[in-house]
């Protein structure tokens, strides 16, 4: 029997493209940055009591700074509150962001598969964008980056 039931949210983070073109510092997504932004949003929207209730099993399990996909673990009874707070996050650091829910699941395996599918789809889009200019070395490097980020963060 499982004592704590969790929900896992696979989220995609969209950074403001105009900010990168303006030459300002770009934000690098890390577990700390994403976690802090979500906790601040929970505190702002639900107060200290809401933050204290939600913080028990809240954890950012995986963040891929290249493809901007993250997996977030929350308690089953609090997932709607956390999801609501995530949709109200507007900035990470000084960079405007928008979160998009890709998958909601009760087990991390399903979320892992969904995140891997999203990473692979983004890589295919990258290959189409670059076209014939993609060398085999760069192709293998990008595949290794996707695999490295995923295996390192989720399997801990």
Give the CATH number, domain containing residue 42: 3.30.70.3250
Instruction: Establish if 80 belongs to a structural domain.
Output: yes
How far apart (Å, rounded) are the C-alpha atoms in residues 62 and 68? Answer: 10
pLDDT digits (tens, 9 = 90+) for 23-67: 556 678 899 999 999 999 999 999 999 899 888 889 999 888 878
Into how many domains does the chain fold?
A: 1
Instruction: Establish if 45 belongs to a structural domain.
Output: yes
Instruction: Establish if 83 belongs to a structural domain.
Output: yes
Instruction: Establish if 1 belongs to a structural domain.
Output: no
Query: Given this model, what pLDDT does residue 144 score?
Result: 64
Instruction: Establish if 139 belongs to a structural domain.
Output: yes
Residue with the larger pLDDT of the pair 101 and 125 = 101
For the ranges 11-15, 18-22, 39-43, 89-93, the lowest mean pLDDT is seen at: 18-22
Task: Please check the confidence at residue 70 and state whether its pLDDT lies above 80.
Answer: yes
Nearest to 71 by CA among 123, 149, 126, 138: 149
**Owning domain of residue 83:** 6-154
Instruction: Establish if 143 belongs to a structural domain.
Output: yes
pTM, full prediction: 0.78
């Amino acid at each position: 029997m499982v004592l704590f039931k969790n929900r896992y949210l696979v989220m995609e983070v969209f950074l403001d493209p105009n900010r990168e073109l303006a030459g300002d510092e770009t934000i690098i997504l890390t577990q700390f940055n994403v976690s802090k932004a979500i906790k601040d949003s929970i505190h702002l929207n639900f107060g200290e009591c809401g933050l204290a209730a939600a913080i028990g099993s809240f954890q950012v399990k995986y963040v891929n700074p290249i493809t901007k996909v993250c997996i977030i673990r929350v308690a089953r009874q609090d997932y709607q509150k956390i999801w609501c707070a995530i949709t109200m996050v507007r900035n990470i650091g000084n960079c405007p962001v928008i979160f998009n829910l890709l998958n909601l699941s009760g087990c991390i395996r399903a979320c892992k598969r969904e995140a891997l599918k999203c990473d692979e789809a983004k890589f295919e889009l990258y290959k189409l964008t670059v076209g014939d200019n993609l060398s085999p070395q760069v192709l293998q490097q990008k595949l290794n980056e996707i695999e490295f980020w995923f295996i390192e963060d989720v399997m801990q």
